[in-house]
Amino acid sequence: MLEISIIPALADNYIYLLHEPDSRVTAVVDPAAALPVMAALQRCGFELNYIFNTHHHSDHIGANLELKAATGCTVVGAKADHSRIPGIDIGLDDGDRIALGGETLLAIDTPGHTVGHIVYYSAGSRALFCGDTLFSLGCGRLFEGSAEQMWQSLQKLKALPAETKIYCAHEYTEANARFALTLEPGNPQLQRRYAEVCQLRRSNAPTLPSTIGQELATNPFLREHSSEIRQHLALPAASALEVFAAMRRQKDRFR
């Protein structure tokens, strides 16, 4: 079982520190900045073996080269995005697996936010490191991919076990909750989640991890079937993809 720690960075990024205790193999996911990672490694007495990148944006790969120079770690990312991942050593395709000590991470191709986005799933630890594809109560903006690509990517994640913990790369949950309530204000589980999130943020505590089960019950981007959402969008008989795309356009304009 992986030991997973959250390292806050920049304004609202989360870097994840993964440690497999039997082998003492250690990795970070999406290191935005080197200093907080080095401080965490020193505090825990860990040596860094791997960097796992979900995509090429600077707030996810910003510390790759500095950490690699300092530790000699191996950088892992999408093979399709090899030219945009600094210091990459191992490129993964959809369905590839990589060992982290006694644990195995599965790479899942999730284009949408970027065309080369991948996520990492540990079945043994029931953990998903999903970058900017799936957020708690939201999903990533479509910078490079299409609504159809993102929708298909999210279908893959919806199919994971309900107890799977969601470790996304940003603290966006409160703003996402406010948007979700404009679409589905009558959802009691969403109402409870919003109250919980507000309390956590008042204490400056992370709202993560969430779970797939929580997201299926509250995240509008996984709830295209909701009659309340469809009525709000005036799309009662539209396809799931049409409803998803309409929600994504509204979220882009939401303030």
Active site residues: 55, 57, 59-60, 113, 132, 170
Alpha helices of 130-187 — where are they, by DSSP H?
147-158, 173-183
DSSP code, position 247: H
Alpha-carbon span 114 to 142, nearest angstrom: 7
Alpha-carbon span 37 to 148, nearest angstrom: 35
Alpha-carbon span 150 to 43, nearest angstrom: 38
Q: Is 96 annotated as a binding residue?
A: no
End-to-end C-alpha distance for the chain, whole angstroms: 40
DSSP code, position 73: P
Q: Is 113 annotated as a binding residue?
A: yes
**Could you tell me how many residues make up the chain?**
255
Q: Is 132 annotated as a binding residue?
A: yes
Rounded to the nearest angstrom, the gap between the alpha carbon of residue 228 and the centroid of all alpha carbons in its chain is 26
Give the residue ranges of the annotated binding site.
Answer: 55, 57, 59-60, 113, 132, 170
Give the residue ranges of the annotated binding site for Zn(2+).
Answer: 55, 57, 59-60, 113, 132, 170
